[in-house]
Structure 1
């Protein structure tokens, strides 16, 4: 078992290295990036109990409860409208009469951190469903994620009022009270930015950190229902023997984690803020895969009786 896991990890690492040599972020590169044991984090976490009834009576059967992460979506955070770094989906978010332009009013110099910067954001279903199913299936039984390949869950060019004018979230308590819903910590000197208001403007001299904050905001919106934005919820309904991922919370890996796709393709996942080496994108275009945790067990009867977690 240990040997087979090492072989799988080696193959995945080799494919990721090959993918990282691609000149542009395309669908094939993104699909290959999903073969990451570190991001998958496959674990057996408990036991499920089922009541199975037949001609000769009923019996209780069990199945293993597992948990792993699924790459639900690709979240792009980029400066120039219509220039999503994922080349095949750029036409989904072209400029329109209410969202014509983008870009920054700064060159990114440290002394210009008092200037406001803007980024668009797109949340699109991860394209690696087939490749990921085969990869995750080699570990055992697998859970289905909420994301559907190439489905747009959020396009900031269609969310003009909320994304470009911060309405109505500019007056939310989370946006007005320091310390509420922030990515990082003021006391540890690692504050990257605030989640609210969940729009495209912010003050951040480090473009990589700023792009990560924008990605977190977009992920925050799509993993909740009833938000004042134009979007489609990236959520699955729970059912017997299936526990879906909930709302994304900044800094909490148990709600989701990020895999950098560009400007540097990584084969590991982390939450924001992190200490990973940050490479700045020349055109201000960044993208991450959003991995979210799901738990499930194989159905072994007609009635689900419950489950027990080992921890």
Structure 2
């Protein structure tokens, strides 16, 4: 899992030309998404400790060590969009076409100019990030790399199949998280930067800013798929820990140590952030947004039959 320096330099050069600081994107396709993973800022590769392994042969046993690393992996592409069947990632639109229980979309309206408290609706899809081999080669240039929980193009959540929970907020509209102000919110009321609440984890919310509405819905979708046993139609985007492997866990709003977001459209960013953030927020013309969800993994190379433990650096 190595890459010579000239090949890596060429990839980073291409990425720099591709990204600039932020590139306007009108049609999001797989090639664009794959290119977006060449981001050292999102990767955030670190050596964080040492692992200990017991290695035995017929002649005796010795303790071997390996480096423990931690880095982020682009697990999934999370799309948040107004019109059912119009996922901004064009190649996967067929996965979430309108059906008998999920049609139309868009925002509420009273036909009054200046209205700013309308109910907005967003569909959401969580689909395995397609970068795969490109990301592995890019990340392995830094050293040993960890395996993602996500599989390319696998749908983990399609809101068109989650109709009862996504369009009617059942049963989460009665959850304490949905009824208690200040609980599970993105941003804060005291800082006058409240983007919205995580619960109920459905497609409706009141938010005058369309970008922020899209981000809240993406956070809701990410919240669902990174937990087991939720009352939604989905499959968990989780891996099981094993010797020398510590996969990402539950996503928590505002906490970069659980995951962070790379904007893919309407602008393509080379950086990652959590919601809320103060970065430039471009409003999508059709109300469709997409982010790559990067999550942290830790791992070390197996160097023996028995894992004895690990020590993390301060």
Q: Does the CA contact (< 8 Å) of 1:16 and 1:32 recur in 2?
A: no
Q: Which residue of 269, 280, 283 corresponds with 1:280?
A: 283
Gaps of 5+ in 2: none
CA RMSD across the alignment: 2.3
Q: Does the CA contact (< 8 Å) of 2:21 and 2:270 recur in 1?
A: no
Q: Does the CA contact (< 8 Å) of 2:25 and 2:267 recur in 1?
A: no
Q: Which residue of 288, 295, 298 corresponds with 1:295?
A: 298
My pick for the range that moved more, 141-150 or 12-21, is 12-21
- Post-superposition CA distance 1:261-289 (Å, at most 9, x none): 00000000000000000000000000000
TM-score of the superposition, structure 2-length normalised?
Answer: 0.94
Give the structure 2 partner of residue 24 of structure 1: 27
Q: Does the CA contact (< 8 Å) of 1:24 and 1:87 recur in 2?
A: yes
Give the structure 2 partner of residue 129 of structure 1: 132
Q: Does the CA contact (< 8 Å) of 1:81 and 1:120 recur in 2?
A: yes
Specify the SS of the correspondent of 1:112: coil
TM-score of the superposition, structure 1-length normalised?
Answer: 0.95
Alpha-carbon shift at residue 104 of structure 1 (Å): 1.0
- Post-superposition CA distance 1:244-266 (Å, at most 9, x none): 00000000000000000000000
Q: Which residue of 33, 36, 49 corresponds with 1:33?
A: 36
Gaps of 5+ in 1: none
- Post-superposition CA distance 1:121-140 (Å, at most 9, x none): 00000000011001001111
Q: Does the CA contact (< 8 Å) of 1:109 and 1:205 recur in 2?
A: no
Specify the SS of the correspondent of 1:259: strand
Alignment pair present for 1:271 and 2:274: yes
Q: Tell me: CA distance 1:44–1:3, structure 2 relative to 1, closer, same or farther (3 Å).
A: farther
Alignment pair present for 1:115 and 2:118: yes
Specify the SS of the correspondent of 1:30: helix
Q: Which residue of 249, 254, 261 corresponds with 1:251?
A: 254
Alpha-carbon shift at residue 110 of structure 1 (Å): 8.9
Give the structure 2 partner of residue 192 of structure 1: 195
Specify the SS of the correspondent of 1:305: strand
Specify the SS of the correspondent of 2:216: helix
